[in-house]
């Protein structure tokens, strides 16, 4: 049976767990395809109420229509379709189906209209379905593909013009041509606007998805780099220290000390990747100072310890851990490479600025030239500098041959003023 492997300290959560969009933070919907579709549907619903109401009113007032059962059936059918369209636009459910019924129902009305009028005398009044021409075109843009919507936008005004001019009155042909031209122009405007907004929304969605994917990749790469820094630091602080102690051991006590270091190194490796993420845990600057004071007192050389500033300065526990380990490495380097018992060593912890903390490890020993450190040496680069950078801090090493060394570790919360 497979078991879940505990998450490493630096392993990121999934994108769904770590990313909160600006739209979600503000409680508003982002400008996306879904938002455009919602606005489009609501607009069609409002247009159906406005123009559909006029169409029904004029249809009921037309005596010629009310005398024919087919005309009454056409008006009632279109009224039911308009009601369904309005409800669907309000509920935002079934809008595509309702729009298709509107489109094809309107075409049926145009086809049967010539049979509803007295051809010899004609009907000079504006037919009721004139007010639905633009709404039907908008429904076609909403529910159909672009090609079908273009076809519908062109054909429906032509059919309306034919239906409008289906009389022996020559003037009705002129009116039909004018109405069809007007309906065609308005339909094309609706088509262009609808298609443009939809494509723009899809472009925004694609750009947003790409940005999220790149952010996810950046988070993953950062986690990999943080893991590398952690492993390199463990190798240097634990494994290499144990190997060096074993290589230099000459007595039984030294061999036992080397064995103890090796056991600790193995335990460190065993538990390093299993610690839960503790970014929400915090420690105070006073607790950090106590831990560093205890670390300094446990070493084989005397190190003066000083704390300056407020003891209630708060920082994340991962930052405090990184500062303790980096400072411990700096103290160990000073003892190993800085000189003998005559060298003065000190650790100073300060509460800096308005919210920051700094740790200085100083000695007046032999010093070294940082430019001559071999790239393969991990003590300063990995265990100190990269370790601080991985938690959002800074580290600097100031040293000169014959004039001692100063290692300064700094951390300031984001948005706070750094110590000057």
Tens of pLDDT, residues 311-325: 888 888 888 888 888
291 and 150 share one domain: no
Same domain, yes or no: 90 and 191? yes
Range of the domain at 331: 277-420
Report the b/e string of 102-126 with b at 16+ CB within 10 A: bbebbbebbeebeebbeeeebbeee
Q: Are residues 40 and 187 in the same domain?
A: yes
Q: Which residues contact 118 (CB under 8 A, 6 or more apart)?
A: 64
The answer to the question of residue 387 being in a domain is yes
Establish if 246 belongs to a structural domain: no
| Residue 351 forms part of a structural domain | yes
Cα separation values, 341 from 327, 344, 345, 362, Å? 20, 8, 10, 15
pLDDT of 166 higher than 50: yes
Answer whether residue 3 is part of any domain. no
Q: Does residue 118 lie within any of the structural domains?
A: yes
| Same domain, residue pair 43 and 187 | yes
Residue 234 lies in a domain: no
Name the residue with higher pLDDT: 128 or 341: 128
Residue environment code for 8-29, b if the CB has 16+ CB neighbours within 10 A, otherwise e:
bbbebeeeeeeeeeeeeeeeee
Residue 383, domain member (yes or no)? yes
d(CA 28, CA 269): 46
Number of domains in the chain: 2
Residue 1 lies in a domain: no
Residue 95 pLDDT greater than 60, yes or no: yes
User: Is 70 exceeded by the pLDDT of residue 247?
Assistant: no
CA dihedral of 322, 328, 329, 333, whole degrees rounded to 10: 160
Mean pLDDT of the chain: 77
Average pLDDT (60-86) is 81
Give the range among 216-230, 266-280, 371-385, 401-415 with minimum mean pLDDT: 266-280
Residues 299 and 157 in one domain: no
Alpha helices in 61-145 (DSSP H): 63-66, 69-91, 95-112, 133-143
Same domain for 195 and 286, yes or no, is no
pTM over 0.85: no
d(CA 104, CA 347): 84
Backbone angles phi, psi at 274, to 5 degrees: -105, 0
Domain boundary among 189, 212, 235: 212
For 349-384, the pLDDT digits (tens) are: 998 877 889 999 999 888 888 777 665 555 677 778
Cα 386 to Cα 167, 202, 362, 367: the distances in Å are: 88, 41, 19, 21
- Count of beta carbons in the 10 Å neighbourhood of residue 273: 17
CA distance 230 to 42: 55
For residue 409, name the pLDDT band (cuts at 50, 70, 90): very high
Residues 171 and 318 in one domain: no
Considering only CA atoms, which of 244, 268, 269 is closest in space to residue 258?
244
């Amino acid at each position: 049976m497979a078991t879940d492997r505990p998450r490493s300290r630096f392993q990121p959560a999934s994108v769904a767990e770590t990313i909160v969009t600006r739209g979600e933070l503000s409680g508003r919907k982002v400008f996306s395809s879904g938002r455009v579709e919602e606005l489009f549907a609501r607009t069609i619903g409002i247009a159906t109420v406005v123009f559909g109401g006029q169409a029904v009113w004029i249809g009921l007032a037309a005596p010629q229509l009310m005398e024919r059962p087919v005309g009454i059936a056409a008006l009632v059918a279109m009224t039911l379709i308009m009601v369904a369209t309005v409800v669907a636009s309000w509920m935002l459910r079934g809008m595509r189906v309702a729009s298709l019924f509107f489109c094809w129902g309107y075409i049926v009305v145009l086809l049967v209209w010539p049979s509803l009028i007295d051809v010899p005398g004609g009907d000079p009044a504006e037919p009721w379905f004139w007010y639905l021409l633009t709404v039907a075109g908008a429904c076609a843009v909403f529910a159909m593909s672009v090609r079908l919507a273009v076809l519908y936008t062109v054909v429906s005004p032509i059919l309306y013009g034919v239906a409008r001019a289906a009389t022996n009155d020559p003037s009705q042909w002129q009116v039909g041509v004018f109405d069809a031209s007007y309906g065609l122009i308005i339909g094309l405007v609706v088509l262009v606007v609808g298609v443009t907004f939809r494509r723009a929304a899809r472009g925004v969605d694609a750009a947003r998805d790409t940005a999220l994917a790149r952010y996810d990749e950046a988070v993953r790469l950062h986690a990999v780099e943080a893991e590398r820094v952690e492993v390199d630091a463990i190798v240097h602080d634990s494994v290499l220290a144990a190997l060096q102690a074993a290589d230099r051991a000459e007595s039984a006590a030294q061999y036992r000390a080397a064995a103890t270091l090796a056991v600790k190194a193995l335990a460190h490796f065993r538990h390093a990747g299993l610690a839960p993420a503790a970014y929400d845990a915090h420690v105070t600057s006073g607790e950090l100072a106590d831990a560093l004071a205890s670390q300094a007192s446990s070493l084989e050389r005397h190190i003066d310890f000083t704390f300056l500033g407020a003891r209630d300065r708060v920082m994340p526990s991962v930052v405090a851990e990184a500062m303790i380990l980096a400072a411990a490495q700096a103290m160990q380097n000073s003892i190993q490479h800085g000189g003998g018992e005559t060298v003065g060593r000190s650790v100073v912890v300060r509460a800096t600025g308005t919210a920051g903390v700094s740790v200085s490890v100083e000695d007046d020993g032999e010093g070294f030239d940082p430019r001559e450190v071999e790239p393969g040496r991990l003590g300063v680069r990995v265990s100190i500098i990269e370790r601080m950078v991985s938690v959002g801090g800074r580290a600097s090493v100031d040293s000169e041959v014959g004039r001692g060394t100063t290692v300064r570790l700094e951390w300031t919360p984001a948005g706070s003023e750094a110590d000057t």
